[in-house]
Amino acid sequence: MMFKRLIHTISFLFVLFSLHAQRTESFVHDGEIGVSIGAATYFGDLNTTTNLSHPKFSAGGFYRKQYNNYVGFKIAGNYAFLGYSDIYSTNPVQLRRNLSFNTNVWEISVSGDFNFFKFYPGFPEYSFTPYVSLGIGAFSFDPYAYLNGEKYYLRGIGTEGQGSPLYPGITPYKNVAVCIPIGFGFKKALNERFNVFAELSYRFTTTKYLDDVSGSYAPDAFPPDANGNPTVGFLLQDRSYETGAVIGVKGKQRGNGQKDSFVTLQFGISFNIQSYRCPSF
């Protein structure tokens, strides 16, 4: 009698397991479409200590194609408002230099994603996973600064002598650059349709001029106007006159010449794209 009950119990559990397995195997998580908002911070000649105390706005959207439980391919578009100022620094040299910038960054990228755990939206036991991503992208930027309340785009001015006949070897920098985004995130399925996620993504870039600062001072590239007054370019290329004696003599280092980077931290929601396949018997 007890043996029959044991057989029935085992059979019942086997049926339950088989039904669950058929359900998970028949479910196909094809991908996601999502949006996110968060904060962005720049690192470069003005923020040399990776200070995170002055973040600005960022937002994005993406489509992810999921190939299996772990590997996906993502196409993303992101916006980041970046900016920084020497006045945030504790370095006395930077405080005297007194440069600043803002820029709008528009980025498009592709990347591969890897889930650490199986991710099946709609199945509580498979509803959470950390993930990592690595990709490549391109972004546009156009740094600007304010002088007496007026906004001036710095690339066209050539603050380090770019485009001046006195500096034929220094050409204007491009306002489009390549980036390598490296991301780490977590996502949680609320149900079979929607997920929430958080993602931290760091971008290495190929430009030194996200902040318009990289090389040396070139004050002689900005002669006075017809009335003998300093031009806008001259006043923007070296703003140390606002903090004391002028430090921007010709050939003196203005920036460190290293590549700039930026990071975003975003929180968002995504919509699952899913299908079902008929299980084979």
The Cα 128–Cα 122 span in angstroms is 11
Reported as a pLDDT band with limits 50, 70 and 90, residue 166 is very high
The Cα 151–Cα 143 span in angstroms is 10
Q: Is residue 147 a part of any domain in this protein? A: yes
What confidence score (pLDDT) does residue 12 get?
38
Q: Is residue 95 a part of any domain in this protein? A: yes
What confidence score (pLDDT) does residue 25 get?
53
Where in the sequence is the domain holding 84, given as residue range(s)?
27-212+259-276
Q: Is residue 142 a part of any domain in this protein? A: yes
- For residue 274, is pLDDT > 90? no
Q: Is residue 192 a part of any domain in this protein? A: yes
Q: What is the pTM of this model?
A: 0.86
Best CA proximity match to 129, nearest among 183, 185, 63: 185
What confidence score (pLDDT) does residue 14 get?
36
In the chain, the number of structural domains is 1
Average pLDDT over residues 153-175: 96
The Cα 139–Cα 75 span in angstroms is 14
Average pLDDT over residues 98-109: 98
- For residue 165, is pLDDT > 60? yes
Q: For 70-92, how does the pLDDT look when each residue is reduced to its tens digit (9 = 90+)?
A: 999 999 999 999 999 999 999 99
Q: Is residue 232 a part of any domain in this protein? A: no
Cβ count near 39 (within 10 Å): 17
Supply the mean pLDDT for the chain. Answer: 90
Buried b (16+ CB within 10 A) or exposed e, 203-241: bebebbbbbbbbbbbbbebbeeeeeeeeeebbbbbbbbe
Average pLDDT over residues 204-224: 97
What confidence score (pLDDT) does residue 276 get?
61
Count of all residues that appear for the chain in the document = 281
What confidence score (pLDDT) does residue 8 get?
47
161: alpha, beta or left? (left if phi > 0; alpha if psi -120 to 50)? left
CATH of the domain at 72: 2.40.160.20
